[in-house]
Amino acid sequence: MLNKHIKNSDINFITNNPLKERDPMSRCRPWTTAAWLALFSVSLFGCAAGPAPQPTATNSETATAKNAQSNAGETQNETATNPRVHEFRLDNGMKVLVKQDTRAPVVVSQVWYKAGSSYEQNGTTGVAHVLEHMMFKGTDKYGPNEFSRIISENGGSENAFTGQDYTAYFQQLEKSRLPIAMELEADRMANLNLSAEEFAKEIQVVMEERRMRTDDKPQSKAYEMFTATAYTNSPYSHPIIGWMNDLQNMTVEDAQKWYNDWYAPNNATLVVVGDVDPQQVLTLAREHYGKIPPGKVPAIKPQQEVEQNGIRRIVVKEPAQLPYLLMGYKVPVVKTAENDWEPYALEMLAHVLDGSDSSRFNKELIRGKAMAASIGAGYDLFSRMDELFLFDATPAQGYTVDDMEKEIRAQIERLKMELVTDQELERIKNQVVASKIYEQDSIFYQAMQMGTLETVGLDWRLMDDFVERFRAVTAEQVRQVAQKYLVDERLTVAVLDPQPINPKSIASNHGGAPHAH
Amino acid sequence: MRTKLILLFGLFIVSPSLLAGVNIQHWTTDNGARVYFVAAPELPMVDLQIIFDAGAARDKDKAGTAVLTNGLLAEGAGDLNANQISERFDELGARFGYDAQRDMANLTLRSLSDDKVLNPALDTMALVLSQPTFPKEAFERERKRMLIGLEQRKQSPGALADEAFYKAVFKSHPYAVMPSGYEDTVGSLTLDDLKAFYKHYYVASNAVIAIVGDLDRSEAEQVAATIVAQLPQGTPAEKLPDVANLNDQEIIKLDHPSTQTHILLGQPGMKRGDPDYYALYVGNHILGGSGLVARLSNEIREKRGLAYSSYSYFLPMRKDGPFQIGLQTRNDQAEEALSVVRETLKTFIENGPTAEEINASIKNITGGFPLRISSNKKILGYIGMIGFYDLPLDYLDTFNEKIQAVSAADIQDAFKRRVNPDTMVTILVGQQ
């Protein structure tokens, strides 16, 4: 589905589509955001099945059974496909989520901070991600890059990622090495050493990253401009990596302020999944994170997006070979929806159009009319603030972006007029249920789900509720959300207008005429 | 290529009993397909991959054939059209996938292990594999989509560098080809080309089947038999020629209106089962294969802030795959970055790694073993590779000691013999 790859068209996600730009560098440190949003959205094709857990208050450092059963009952209830999540809270306010998965003697440890690019102020956009880089630059105890060296010597892999709603750090290790990761991660939560010298080098690295991810990728450039146009006052309007001018003028003090504001145990969630004993994880967490005093975390303003009241259109001219269309409608998400079924209906709508080989876009526009070389629809229902329901398309030979817009609009109109068939709904629901099993194959993915939900201000239990709620969506509800939200008043359209790539042809072509496709 | 992702191998030293977890069973189907199976009863699901020696290295002068053939299989099979095929998989919640690179052409299936799901999913996959109809309309459409993909390549400095790199390193060898082809070759492909390619290469004796999942041996045998039942035995693909060493240094600069210059350096590297595999593998881990703690990253990124990503890798293939060093940096820093890379490489080859470096790398490779086999999907990748490249079944069992046996002298010797900075290809794409 599309959302993910337009957000970062350079993510190395699996696709048979020849048109999606790929980035072979995904192993380098700051994986963007949407790599994980991508993962997560794929996950929307499935979150845990099994009995719905009961919510329980967790205001002490005690394990709180989530299944509202006796301990013995819980043990019995645990199966490979339905492992229990243990939730704790340390005295300093840090939340700890542990999921036991004994399939392999490994563990993934992630620390999530409620501090992403949507928490940033104008003028210092990108600082969340810059700080993420600086977190590898040493503490009072460990020198620059020592963190990575120690994890590596212990056979581990590690990285970090920044999104609109979070910054997260993770290590994957053989299970006995978990204390090492915890010690290091807790150390840099409290004792980061931000030097001007290291900052001066690292900000250059981040600018190179921006050039690679965005500036030299026409579709990414178009997406950036598109987002900045669609949102008026929502902090989702600026790119996660930040505007280049803000990066050029960023100082180590900006990074220090960010660290001081947001990096505190009471603003963090530790997620551990693997072959571990939850009580031992709690003991370790107390030992390492428990001694860090809570911080004063700033209150954030709602910054609720103003009403749009009319279509917005932009053209982005970039050296490129192919035209490209982006359309986005402002929609609520689980966190903001007045009617809690609506985001699930929108998610279902996205699956009707895109997401598998039998969805309508593939059937009717890639095959069928063969008008689109690539076309997608997508939506992230687990964000902190209102989102865009996105469409993107590259026309096939002989067609234009106007044709793409007409076809997408026709598909939307049909969703407003006709009910989605039972067969389509059934097919999508079956896929989601199966995905719930498949995702158990990755402990990293399971940790991602819990961390994301917790950090955007939802509840990790939604991971288990998702299938239930998604399966409850009716054809009539899909029609209703189409009628209510996929309307011009909420729409922004961006077109990438390709300019000649060859510098010689620029010289000889004064008009800069776009390539016709 | 995906195979790059399964470069890292090591044996876990803390808990050898773990190896029981990767108990590979191997047999051959009646019609000659080689099967590799690992039972994984923990989750009620099955992962399956069938790999044909039918990658783009078989394209000859018709670049794009392997990819397009592979991509058209599910466009129509038996009496089913593309929509019906996709519906069959989707309504079962099964995930069918395909791809082709230089060595391999793959079909993959992930399904629940419940018979009521698995059996129809397998039947559909077997149909796609053995009775594709290659509809003309799908052929024309997918060929046009490939051409659009080639347009996209022109707007990506990284993709342009990649294309130039393979061409310069492999010259007349089949590995020089871009699997997605070129305008003239894709433009002139015919349906008959694809049908002939399919008939020649998609045969049982040219196939390796990897299965990981909630099955016992007899069920896995049934699965493998079902998948290839209707394929003719055929013959294994002909041997590929050896890759020639480069004789001269070559520097290629391509103009592109990007803010960064993409730099690639390299030469033919090594193959799967190479006698120098372990020494080159550990050596590269130190040089540029261990992310932020590698020498290249340290010199380029940590010390100088010149690039976000800098790396080196060997991509072992059936024959010598590439050895590649890469980075991207602001155009005006390209020369500086390039000279740091050259100096780093030269120093490494001349002086070899330090004892500390080699110790740290071996610890990482061996200590990280459990992570590499921690999911069905990862295990599937390993056994598929072991099967496809005819590696011994005890490859994993012996890997640990082989990694640990590598010395600084071995690495220096292997790099001196196998990596030559004086006859490398250098590609720069950007605004010079």
pLDDT tens per residue, range A104-154: 999 999 999 999 999 999 999 999 999 999 999 999 999 999 999 999 999
Q: Average the pLDDT over B329-357 and give the result.
A: 98
Residue A388: exposure state from Cβ atoms within 10 A (0-12, 13-18, ≥19): buried
Nearest to A81 among B44, B157, B368 (CB): B44
Interchain CB distance below 8 Å, B83 and A203:
no
Interchain CB distance below 8 Å, B141 and A396:
yes
User: Containing H/E element for B362?
Assistant: helix B355-367
Q: Token digits for B4?
A: 């790059």
Question: In this structure, what DSSP letter does residue A418 have?
Answer: S
Residue A314: exposure state from Cβ atoms within 10 A (0-12, 13-18, ≥19): middle
Long-range contacts of range B113-117, CB-CB < 8 Å, 24 or more positions apart? B113/B44, B113/B45, B113/B46, B113/B213, B113/B214, B113/B215, B114/B44, B117/A434, B117/B92, B117/B93
Q: Give yes or no for residue A68 having a pLDDT over 70.
A: no
pLDDT in tens, B227-254: 999 999 999 999 999 999 999 999 999 9
A156 to chain B nearest CA, in Å?
A: 6
Q: Average the pLDDT over A356-379 and give the result.
A: 97
Interchain CB distance below 8 Å, B373 and A358:
no
Q: Give yes or no for residue B198 having a pLDDT over 50.
A: yes
List, in order, residues 6 or more apart from A34 with CB less than 8 Å away. Answer: A3, A4, A5, A7, A8, A11, A163
Q: Give yes or no for residue B14 having a pLDDT over 70.
A: no
> Of A153 and A3, which is predicted with more confidence?
A153
d(CA B83, CA B78): 13
Give alpha helix (H) positions in B270-331.
Answer: 277-284, 295-297
Helix (H, G, I), strand (E, B) or coil at B324: strand
Q: Measured between beta carbons, which residues in chain B are less than 8 angstroms from residue A363? A: 83, 86
Interchain CB distance below 8 Å, B360 and A16:
no
Q: Give yes or no for residue A54 having a pLDDT over 50.
A: no
Residue at token pair 């009952």 = A73
pLDDT in tens, B200-230: 999 999 999 999 999 999 999 999 999 999 9
Q: Give yes or no for residue A5 having a pLDDT over 80.
A: no
A464 to chain B nearest CA, in Å?
A: 17
Q: Give yes or no for residue A51 having a pLDDT over 60.
A: no
Interchain CB distance below 8 Å, A155 and B82:
no
d(CA B428, CA B330): 12
d(CA B335, CA A178): 42
Q: What is the pTM of this model?
A: 0.90
Q: Given CB atoms, is B82 within the 8 Å cutoff of chain A?
A: yes
Q: How many contacts (CB atoms, under 8 Å) link A and B?
A: 247
Q: Measured between beta carbons, which residues in chain A are less than 8 angstroms from residue B291? A: 27-29, 148, 152
Give alpha helix (H) positions in A66-195.
Answer: 71-77, 127-134, 146-153, 178-190
Give residue A502's pLDDT. Answer: 77
Give residue A335's pLDDT. Answer: 96
Q: Give yes or no for residue B189 having a pLDDT over 90.
A: yes
A76 to chain B nearest CA, in Å?
A: 16
Give residue A464's pLDDT. Answer: 85
Q: Given CB atoms, is B354 within the 8 Å cutoff of chain A?
A: no
Give alpha helix (H) positions in A249-339.
Answer: 252-262, 278-288
List, in order, residues 6 or more apart from B15 with CB less than 8 Å away. Answer: A105, A174, B370
Task: Give percent above pLDDT 90 in chain B.
Answer: 93
Q: Average the pLDDT over B84-111 and give the result.
A: 98
On average, the pLDDT of chain A sits at 85
Q: Given CB atoms, is B96 within the 8 Å cutoff of chain A?
A: yes
Interchain CB distance below 8 Å, A145 and B377:
no
Question: In the beta sheet, which residues pair with residue A89?
Answer: A95
Task: Say if residues B34 and B131 touch (Cβ distance below 8 Å).
Answer: no
Task: Say if residues B136 and B206 touch (Cβ distance below 8 Å).
Answer: no
Question: In this structure, what DSSP letter does residue B373 have?
Answer: T
- Search chain B and give the residue with CA nearest A320: B155
Q: Token digits for A365?
A: 């526009």
Residue at token pair 């594709």 = B132
Question: In the beta sheet, which residues pair with residue B208?
Answer: B34, B51
Task: Say if residues B282 and B355 touch (Cβ distance below 8 Å).
Answer: no
Q: Token digits for A501?
A: 């790539």
pLDDT in tens, B15-47: 333 444 589 999 999 999 999 999 999 999 999
Active-site residue among A120, A132, A185, A439? A132
Q: Give yes or no for residue B125 having a pLDDT over 60.
A: yes
Nearest to A208 among B4, B307, B368 (CB): B307
Residue B215: exposure state from Cβ atoms within 10 A (0-12, 13-18, ≥19): buried
Give alpha helix (H) positions in B93-135.
Answer: 115-130
What confidence tier does A504 reach under pLDDT thresholds 50, 70, 90?
Answer: low
3-state helix, strand, coil in chain B (%, to 5): 50, 20, 30
What confidence tier does A62 reach under pLDDT thresholds 50, 70, 90?
Answer: very low
Give residue B397's pLDDT. Answer: 85
Interchain CB distance below 8 Å, B375 and A104:
yes
User: CB-hemisphere CA count at 13 Å for B9?
Assistant: 27
Annotate A367-396 with DSSP letters as a single string. Answer: TTT--EEEEEEE--SSSSS-EEEEEEEEEP
Q: For residues A450-489, b (16+ Cβ closer than 10 Å) or e, as one string? A: bbbbbbbebebbbbbbbbebbbebebebbbbbbebbbeee
Q: Average the pLDDT over B138-154 and give the result.
A: 97
d(CA B322, CA A94): 47
Nearest to B145 among A18, A203, A206 (CB): A18
On average, the pLDDT of chain B sits at 94
A86 φ/ψ angles, rounded to the nearest 5 degrees: -105, 130
- Search chain B and give the residue with CA nearest A216: B258
- Search chain B and give the residue with CA nearest A144: B302
Strands A85-89 and A95-100: antiparallel
d(CA A424, CA B116): 20
Q: Please state whether B371 falls in left (phi above 0), alpha (psi between -120 and 50) or beta.
A: alpha
d(CA B106, CA B110): 13
Interchain CB distance below 8 Å, A367 and B141:
yes
Whether residue A132 lies in the annotated active site: yes
What confidence tier does A379 reach under pLDDT thresholds 50, 70, 90?
Answer: very high
pLDDT in tens, A412-447: 999 999 999 999 999 999 999 999 999 999 999 999
Q: Token digits for A478?
A: 């899909």
Question: In this structure, what DSSP letter does residue B243 have?
Answer: P
Q: Token digits for A417?
A: 């007029």
Task: Say if residues B306 and B91 touch (Cβ distance below 8 Å).
Answer: no
- Search chain A and give the residue with CA nearest B139: A367
Among candidates A386, A389, A383, which has minimal Cα distance to A452? A383
Q: Average the pLDDT over A52-63 and give the result.
A: 28
List, in order, residues 6 or more apart from B217 with CB less than 8 Å away. Answer: B25, B37, B39
Residues 51-80 of B with CB under 8 A from A: 71, 74
d(CA A218, CA A9): 10
Q: Given CB atoms, is B375 within the 8 Å cutoff of chain A?
A: yes
State the amino acid at position B389 in one-letter form. Answer: Y
Interchain CB distance below 8 Å, B86 and A320:
no
What confidence tier does B297 reach under pLDDT thresholds 50, 70, 90?
Answer: very high
pLDDT in tens, A258-277: 999 999 999 999 999 999 99
What confidence tier does B399 reach under pLDDT thresholds 50, 70, 90?
Answer: confident
State the amino acid at position B277 in one-letter form. Answer: Y
pLDDT in tens, B266-287: 999 999 999 999 999 999 999 9
Among candidates B269, B214, B259, B198, which has minimal Cα distance to B424? B269
Task: Say if residues A179 and A240 touch (Cβ distance below 8 Å).
Answer: no
- Substitution target from B15, B142, B309 for chain A, most A beta carbons within 10 A: B309
d(CA A251, CA A167): 19
A364 to chain B nearest CA, in Å?
A: 9
Give residue A345's pLDDT. Answer: 98
d(CA A10, CA A212): 9
Q: Average the pLDDT over B124-137 and give the result.
A: 98
Give residue A43's pLDDT. Answer: 24
Among candidates B131, B140, B114, B256, which has minimal Cα distance to B202? B131
Give residue B22's pLDDT. Answer: 87
Interchain CB distance below 8 Å, B255 and A156:
no
d(CA A161, CA A159): 7
Range with the lowest mean pLDDT among A46-55, A189-198, B164-173, B391-400? A46-55
Q: Give yes or no for residue B410 having a pLDDT over 80.
A: yes
List, in order, residues 6 or more apart from B337 with CB less than 8 Å away. Answer: B263, B300, B306, B307, B327, B329
Among candidates B395, B419, B268, B257, which has minimal Cα distance to B347? B419
What confidence tier does A39 reach under pLDDT thresholds 50, 70, 90?
Answer: very low
- Search chain B and give the residue with CA nearest A217: B156
List, in order, residues 6 or more apart from A75 with CB less than 8 Å away. Answer: none
List, in order, residues 6 or more apart from B79 with CB less than 8 Å away. Answer: none
- Search chain A and give the residue with CA nearest B140: A370
Task: Say if residues A392 and A326 touch (Cβ distance below 8 Å).
Answer: yes
Task: Say if residues B268 and B170 touch (Cβ distance below 8 Å).
Answer: yes
Q: Average the pLDDT over B387-414 and give the result.
A: 94
Q: Give yes or no for residue A42 having a pLDDT over 60.
A: no
Task: Say if residues A383 and A455 touch (Cβ distance below 8 Å).
Answer: no
Q: Average the pLDDT over A296-310 and give the result.
A: 96
Q: Give yes or no for residue A30 having a pLDDT over 50.
A: no
Residue at token pair 């994980």 = A36
Question: In this structure, what DSSP letter does residue A79 have?
Answer: B
Nearest to B260 among A173, A208, A397 (CB): A208
Task: Give percent above pLDDT 90 in chain A.
Answer: 80
